[in-house]
Structure 1
């Protein structure tokens, strides 16, 4: 049985719980801040900030004189997925309100951030960017010179073997070169003790892993991490329920509105039904007059045509245009009278 002291910092509950695969490692991250007492923490790849905010909270709560740096483009990649500025904006807003004095978000590529750190200055390096073998190896090798004599390097997703993830492959190579141990829960987290000036508590964990006695420690931190993941899941369920209740309220309001609309339409239909019957009665009473009007129009049209023929026979000098111009007003007048007879009663009442 290894000598492993317990600490209240292992029970730190994050103030903010972004949905993330990293939540299960927050108890270890908090304890790591306690035992290393870092002056500089750098993480390569932050996304929605679960690990970044956890490190910030641990530094603040434990009153460690450290700065926490998050380096990311906040554009995503083939493993994290691609996204817009909304994730960066939300995290930036929270970071500025709560941890502006101890942390910094550096929106740039990992290699661009190198010039802002002195060699031997980084005590904790968290590698969590693109997860291909080549990308992980490049991240570690390019930042190697920035690591301090007591540096600890974390490799997330060391147990994932799908979708081109290659952290496990690089971890199998690099972990044999330094004291190390690996958590297998929550997609895996490899812990590499690169610096020569390591706390004894971390060295004992590396010895336990080397001797095959690390399983109990792994289960212990897994259990602590599950508590955080359960809380996050409960929060998401509660948010979903609140959204569902809001939607139910909106739909109930829509039902009330539709019921009111139905009542209004029923009343309108009943009113229009009476008006329609009245309209039909008026039209029916006018049918004889309408028939007489049509007969009269027919006779007048025939008479007009006869008059036109006669006019053409009487005077060939009259142009066709003049004849048509003389006939059309009479036809228009008859059409107006017919239209007047056939107009709906409500149009006549409105003078339309």
Structure 2
């Protein structure tokens, strides 16, 4: 039996939810900060900021005297894909408005950032840059001297074995040299206890992993993480619903205006009128399919929420259900009856 104490920090719900594979690890990251209380946190590879913003929020919520540094070129790579300045600009704007006092975004290469950190100063290092074996090894070995006596290093995507990802390979080597444990959900997260001065709570998890008793802890944080991923999915569905509502409304207005024009315009030949009139059922059918996709998406989200409630002690996702019901009401209001009658509904 693992001696593991639950903490309210595990239930932190992120204020901002960028689409990311990291969302499922936010409950553990928040718990980790509560246990470790790091003073200097450095993230190598940030992209749209899911982990960076979660770490900032946890520092603020738990009133930790810490600074969070995000190091990235914000240009992308072969694994994350390449992108323009819009991702950096959006994240920078949010960071400046909410976490300017406790965090810093350093737009540079990882090796360029080394000189800004003293040896032995970093308590928590998150490695999430290019995911090849060579790149991950270089990141760890280059930054090793910057780690403090109580340092913890996180390796994301430790379970991915495709597209040239090599984190798993380096993790299999380095995890035998230090106390460690690994989460298998959300593409994997390796937790390496590098420093000699570790909290007993982390050492217990490392012992549990070594003794084959870590499955229940993995399942717990997986369940908590799924709640966050479900909420993010619902937010994306709501965004798509808003766009769909706008498109449905626009098409309805266009069709109604066009039908009125046809009814009043005597200059339109019977042949053209018949040809145009024949297109209306096809348009109506398209609207019907759009409506069906919207409704199916909402139903899928409800099922995910139900499963999440059964699997986890965290019920914070319940707060989004009223928003989905409001979308139902808007959908019924916007879908006008004339095109339903056109296809016999």
Q: TM-score, normalised by structure 2?
A: 0.77
- Tell me if the contact between 2:41 and 2:69 (Cα under 8 Å) persists in the aligned partners: yes
**Structure 2 counterpart of 1:224:** 224
**Structure 2 counterpart of 1:13:** 13
Mapping for residues 1-352 of structure 1, pairs under 5 Å: 1-264=1-264, 266-268=265-267
Partners of 2:174 and 2:261 lie apart in 1 by: 71
Q: Return the offset for 1:252.
A: 1.4
Partners of 1:181 and 1:75 lie apart in 2 by: 31
Partners of 2:74 and 2:173 lie apart in 1 by: 29
Q: Return the offset for 1:253.
A: 1.8
Partners of 1:254 and 1:104 lie apart in 2 by: 49
Q: Return the offset for 1:263.
A: 3.9
Q: Return the offset for 1:269.
A: 5.0
- Tell me if the contact between 2:47 and 2:72 (Cα under 8 Å) persists in the aligned partners: yes
Report SS of the residue matched to 1:126: strand
Report SS of the residue matched to 1:192: strand
Report SS of the residue matched to 2:266: helix
Q: 5+ residue gaps in structure 2?
A: 270-345
Q: Return the offset for 1:262.
A: 2.4
Query: Alpha carbons of 1:222 and 1:269: their partners in 2 closer, same or farther (altered >3 Å)?
Result: closer
Q: 5+ residue gaps in structure 1?
A: 271-352
Q: Return the offset for 1:4.
A: 0.4
- Tell me if the contact between 2:262 and 2:268 (Cα under 8 Å) persists in the aligned partners: no
Q: Return the offset for 1:176.
A: 0.3
Partners of 1:202 and 1:60 lie apart in 2 by: 22
**Structure 1 counterpart of 2:341:** none
Report SS of the residue matched to 1:124: strand
Report SS of the residue matched to 2:104: strand
Q: Return the offset for 1:257.
A: 2.9
**Structure 1 counterpart of 2:300:** none
**Structure 2 counterpart of 1:305:** none
Count of residues in Structure 1 that have an aligned counterpart in Structure 2 = 269
Partners of 1:246 and 1:146 lie apart in 2 by: 52
Report SS of the residue matched to 1:254: helix
Report SS of the residue matched to 1:151: strand
Report SS of the residue matched to 2:158: coil
Q: Deviations over 1:315-342 (max 9, x none)?
A: xxxxxxxxxxxxxxxxxxxxxxxxxxxx
Q: Return the offset for 1:231.
A: 0.7
Partners of 2:195 and 2:163 lie apart in 1 by: 32
Report SS of the residue matched to 1:181: strand
Report SS of the residue matched to 1:267: coil
Partners of 1:142 and 1:257 lie apart in 2 by: 66
Say what the alpha-carbon RMSD is for the aligned residues: 1.0
Report SS of the residue matched to 2:106: strand
Larger Rg: 1
Partners of 1:74 and 1:263 lie apart in 2 by: 56
Q: Return the offset for 1:258.
A: 1.8
